[in-house]
């Protein structure tokens, strides 16, 4: 067992950190307040391989491992969790679904555009009345002549308004329940597809989250992704890997919050000494550093299993659950250590505190992670 990152991984971490510090850090609050996703960053991200981290070189991908993927997402989240969320959704949901289940023609057509950042990927599973119980979705795709006709609406879709390519799940045979759900690739601008309400969010505000509405949206059969009726099962596999990305996002966010709290504790003086001299503050920092290390190890272990081609449903759910709940505690303590200054926008603490809550909700809530873990333990 070797816990040492390779030299290439050290270089990767340094490179992504330098990019995030130089290109993102100065604009974090401006993007947050304007709810603006910086499309202008896409070419630079694509040059670094951040929009095709784990995808094959023949499609223009960076061909990195799942552990490398975690390093990239962590470093983005350390500076701006909202941008990391967009990069994770683009790589880990839409692009990953096409790369894993697409046929050669679909991969050749869509992957190069996605990894170059010519199109951001969106992935539509959730609906207004089907969240944790995603199989209860109402969106349908009916075969009419030479086309599939999609009707319905998807809720809370990352890049729902700005995505160029969307993978959407729809019921093709209601009588088969979750085995009657199929996936389709729909391009932005297809007639009958439009963005609905853009959400005004508590956190992760720079990442676009919008409703997507389908009204008689016609797509040719070649746009069906994977086999008819297999999409729900495929989705579970996409989410197993996607959760490793959310766990890495939580580790990076917690690391950013911990570093901000440590720096502030050394600088802020009360009762004639830095507040870092008080044991109450030291214990918060010690707990944060320990919990972050534990979360990182769980996350890398799930990624390592993915790299080996092993099943990691239990491990990715454990990593996502533990890392996201750790990040919530660390972000909370970060505000506490900042006192009143943690409550105002001049310091990064309040943004970490707002952003972090999404991590115990998106890609399966903490309750659903516990359900997945328990199911694996009891089977
Ligand atoms: C910013 C953001 C981005 C998102 N991006 C995407 C995206 O790109 N694509 C996409 O498809 N979705 C996306 N989502 C949706 C997200 O995955 C769902 O919000 C999430 O799965 C929870 O569904 P829900 O909100 O309907 O909550 P519900 O399922 O209604 O859950 C409400 C509460 O009930 C609990 N609960 C539900 N069922 C059970 C159970 N069986 N046992 C115990 N407790 C239970 C939940 O844990 C939760 O606490 C996004 C959401 C947000 C907020």
- The angle subtended at Cα 288 by Cα 287 and Cα 290, nearest 5°, is 65
- Average confidence (pLDDT) over 25-34: 98
- The angle subtended at Cα 250 by Cα 81 and Cα 91, nearest 5°, is 65
**Would you state the pLDDT for residue 2?**
87
- Average confidence (pLDDT) over 293-310: 98
Catalytic residue among 7, 146, 363, 367: 363
Residue nearest to atom 43 of ligand 1 (CA): 367
Asked whether the CA dihedral 275, 280, 319, 211 is positive or negative, the reply is negative
CB neighbour burial string for 363-374, b if at least 16 within 10 angstroms, e if fewer: bbebebbeebbe
Put simply, whether the predicted model's pTM sits higher than 0.85 gets the answer yes
- Average confidence (pLDDT) over 280-299: 98
Give 215 Cα–ligand 1 centroid separation in angstroms: 24
Please list every protein residue whose CB sits less than 6 Å from any atom of ligand 1.
89, 123-126, 131-132, 156-158, 201, 204, 209, 358, 361-365, 367-368, 371
Residue 363 is among the residues annotated as catalytic for this protein: yes
Q: Which tokens hold the place of 206? A: 């720079």
- Give the residue ranges of DSSP H helices in 227-278: 231-267
Residue nearest to atom 6 of ligand 1 (CA): 157
Q: Which ligand 1 atom sits nearest the alpha carbon of residue 366?
A: 47
Look at the chain and count its residues: 379
Confidence at 116, pLDDT banded by 50, 70, 90: very high
Strands 147-158 and 165-171: unpaired
| pLDDT per position as a tens digit, 208-249 | 999 999 999 999 999 999 999 999 999 999 999 999 999 999
**Would you state the pLDDT for residue 149?**
98
- Nearest CA-CA partner of 152 in 180, 188, 119, 125: 125
Taking 90 as the threshold, does the pLDDT of residue 1 lie above it? no
- Average confidence (pLDDT) over 114-127: 98
**Would you state the pLDDT for residue 303?**
98
Give 177 Cα–ligand 1 centroid separation in angstroms: 20
| pLDDT per position as a tens digit, 48-90 | 999 999 999 999 999 999 999 999 999 999 999 999 999 999 9
């Amino acid at each position: 067992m070797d816990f040492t990152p390779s030299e290439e991984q050290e270089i990767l971490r340094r490179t992504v950190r330098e990019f995030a510090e130089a290109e993102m850090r100065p604009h974090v609050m401006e993007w947050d307040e304007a709810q603006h996703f910086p499309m202008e960053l896409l070419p630079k991200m694509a040059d670094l391989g951040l929009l095709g981290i784990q995808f094959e070189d023949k499609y223009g991908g960076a061909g990195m491992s799942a552990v490398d993927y975690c390093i990239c997402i962590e470093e983005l989240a350390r500076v701006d969790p909202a941008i990391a969320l967009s990069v994770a959704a683009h790589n880990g949901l839409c692009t990953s679904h096409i790369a894993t289940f697409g046929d050669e023609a679909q991969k050749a057509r869509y992957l190069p555009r996605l990894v170059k950042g010519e199109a951001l990927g969106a992935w539509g599973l959730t609906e207004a009345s089907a969240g944790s119980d995603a199989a209860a979705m109402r969106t349908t795709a009916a075969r009419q002549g030479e086309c599939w006709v999609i009707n319905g609406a998807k809720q809370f879709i990352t890049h729902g308004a700005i995505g160029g390519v969307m993978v959407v799940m729809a019921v093709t045979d209601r009588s088969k329940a979750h085995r009657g759900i199929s996936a389709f690739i729909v391009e932005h601008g297809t007639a009958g597809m439009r963005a609905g309400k853009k959400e005004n969010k508590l956190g992760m505000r720079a990442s676009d989250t919008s409703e997507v509405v389908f009204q008689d949206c016609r797509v040719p059969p070649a746009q069906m992704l994977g086999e008819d009726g297999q999409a729900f099962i495929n989705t579970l596999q996409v989410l197993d890997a996607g959760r490793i990305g959310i766990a890495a996002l939580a580790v990076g966010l917690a690391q950013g919050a911990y570093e901000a709290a440590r720096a502030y504790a050394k600088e802020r003086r009360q009762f004639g000494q830095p507040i870092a001299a008080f044991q109450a503050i030291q214990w918060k920092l010690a707990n944060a550093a320990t919990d972050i290390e534990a979360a990182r190890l769980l996350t890398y272990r799930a990624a390592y299993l993915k790299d080996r081609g092993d099943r990691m449903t239990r491990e990715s759910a454990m990593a996502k659950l533990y890392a996201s709940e750790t990040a919530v505690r660390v972000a909370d303590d970060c505000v506490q250590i900042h006192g009143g200054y943690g409550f105002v926008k001049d310091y990064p603490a309040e943004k970490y505190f707002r952003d972090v809550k999404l991590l115990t909700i998106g890609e399966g809530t903490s309750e659903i992670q516990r359900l997945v873990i328990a199911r694996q333990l009891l089977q």
